Amino acid sequence: MNPRSFLDTQSLPLGEFQELLALADARSRDGARDALRGRILVLLFFNPSLRTRVSFEVAMHRLGGKTIALTGGADTWKMEFRDGVEMLGDAAEHVREAAGVLSEYGDALGVRCFPEMKDLAEDRREPVLGAFARHAHVPVLNLESATRHPCQGLADALTLNQAFGHARGHRVTLTWAYHPRALPMAVPNSFVLTASRLGVELTIAHPEGWELDPSVLEAARANADATGGAVRLTHDRDEGARGAEAVYAKSWGGVAYYGRPDDETRAKAGLRPWIVDEDWLRRSDDAWFLHCLPVRRNVVASDAVLDGPRSLVRKQARNRVYAQEAVLLRALASA
């Protein structure tokens, strides 16, 4: 694996994470520059994307580089990710060749690969992202994988820091929200992992059964210990709002129901009230509102909250550009 790959934030030492965040912040106050002139970024999307694709193209362009974006499946061949198999089925190309060849063409390779959401252990293995990281010889950048969305997490941390001056010591809540589908946990995982490195008082509110991955919570607690923050959990919806200075709303399918969407739908029937609206936010300390987008309006959060003066959702999207400029500079800039 190329040591400049960016697969998650947690594998970076704390100091390096803080430097990356500082670089992103600096880029948010600076104009275009030519640091990556002549460099080529290849983006491979196995799933839809709006923000990630456009913000990466903008970031690379602002740095003077070129992006080539491919839609897996439509533009390319069906791919095999398992090693050692006799490829007699649908897949015409093995990830070993795809990663190897794209490493010949690009200076870095971004990959988006959502989870199958059938088997948690399998998704935690990151079979697609991991295979690209192993078989590419250029840096691989995570454009949202089965369990992590580190570019989003970095942009979210930047947004929190900018909202508060610095987020250290501030009270931040991640609240689960109702959603008609069982969504991946990549965004809440990455948010918990980056926010906990800011030294915030982090509350995670969700109904019983929608626990996050224990390994993520453990890493978050270690982050909090290292930065003077805290992580606490609650199943009480109102408790999540009380005193919060920033609220991050997100739906996810919990580990208790992983791979059983019908069971989850039944269990979720009474949870429609888990929405971030003005009424719920009244318990907060005039909290900033964050969401990674896309968001289901009047399901995950109300129109009034999304369009209100404390909404940072567009700022978060803008910060994706700066976060990714930092990631690109780390991956590609000459020493």
Write out the residues near its own copies by the rule CB under 8 A.
Answer: 32, 38, 40, 42, 45, 48-51, 53-55, 57-58, 61, 66, 68, 70-71, 74-77, 80, 83-88, 92-94, 96-98, 100-102, 104-106, 180, 293-299, 303, 306-307, 313-314, 317-318, 321
- Amino acid, single-letter form, for residue 99: A
Q: How far is CA 64 from CA 34, 58, 100, in A?
A: 5, 10, 25
How far apart are CB 15 and its own copies at their closest, in Å? Answer: 30
Closest CA to 29 of 239, 326, 275: 326
Across 165-179, b (16+ Cβ under 10 Å) vs e yields eebeebbbbbbbbbb
Name the β-bridge partners of 45. 71, 112
Token couple for 25:
């912040």
Distance CA 280, CA 278 (A): 5
Smallest separation, CB 105 to its own copies (Å)? 5
Distance CA 36, CA 319 (A): 19
Please state the closest distance from residue 293 (CB atom) to its own copies, in A.
5
Closest CB to its own copies among residues 106, 254 = 106
Shortest Å distance, C-beta 247 to its own copies: 17
Q: Which residues are CB-neighbours of 335 under 8 A, at least 6 positions away?
A: none
- In the complex with its own copies, the residue whose CB is nearer, 4 or 96, is 96
Nearer to its own copies, 17 or 248 (CB): 248
- As measured in angstroms, the least distance from the Cβ of 313 to its own copies is 7
For tokens 């275009």, the residue is 32
Smallest distance, its own copies to C-beta of residue 91, A = 8
Kindly tell me which of 94 and 237 has the beta carbon lying closer to its own copies: 94
In terms of CB distance, is 118 or 272 closer to its own copies? 272
> Which residue number, 99 or 217, has a Cβ lying nearer to its own copies?
99
Give every CB contact of residue 304 below 8 A, 6+ residues apart in sequence: 277, 278
| Shortest distance, position 312 Cβ to its own copies, whole Å | 12
Q: What are the tokens at 217?
A: 């919570």
Q: Which amino acid is at 221?
A: R
Smallest distance from its own copies to CB 128, Å? 16
Instruction: Specify whether the CB–CB gap between 67 and 101 falls below 8 A.
Output: no
Concatenated DSSP letters for 61-127? HHTT-EEEEEETTTTS--EE-SSS----SS--EEHHHHHHHHHHH-SEEEEE----SS-HHHHHT-H
Task: List all residues 6 or more positions away from 118 whose beta carbon is below 8 Å from its beta carbon.
Answer: 258, 259
Q: How far apart are CA 261 and CA 53, in angstroms?
A: 28
Q: Which is nearer to its own copies, 186 or 231 (CB)?
A: 186
* Cα separation, 271 vs 265, whole angstroms: 10
* Nearest distance, CB of residue 97 and its own copies, angstroms: 5
Q: Which is nearer to its own copies, 183 or 247 (CB)?
A: 183
Q: In terms of CB distance, is 11 or 265 closer to its own copies?
A: 265
Copy the structure tokens of residue 315.
């700022």
